[in-house]
Amino acid sequence: MNLEEIVFSIIISAGNARARAYDALASAQEGDFEKAKVYIREAEKEVGDAHKVQTEIIQREAKGDKVELSLLFVHAQDHLMTAISEKGLIENMIKLYKRINILENR
């Protein structure tokens, strides 16, 4: 896989992770916490996929294969870190929705 393919793979997986995380949030807002859990698992898989590809680049450089830093690569890294951060925040928001749901149904 060349660097451009790697970069786009990270961007796609990170974008998919963010989309699934927001699907999870929407499900939680509707009170469907089981569906939210499924979406979070899917988001986690996408983050894992992106992270694996990122690790390939790191391993290449560790072996002495100089990796050219480009704006596109930085953009991909930004997408991945944003996806990880948003997924974490959304997981906490889902916990809050669960608490609200419990309190409303007492």
- Catalytic residue at 75? yes
CA distance 87 to 39: 10
Query: Does the CA dihedral 25-26-28-32 come out positive or negative?
Result: negative
52, 75, 95, 99: which one is catalytic? 75
CA distance 103 to 106: 5
Catalytic residues: 75
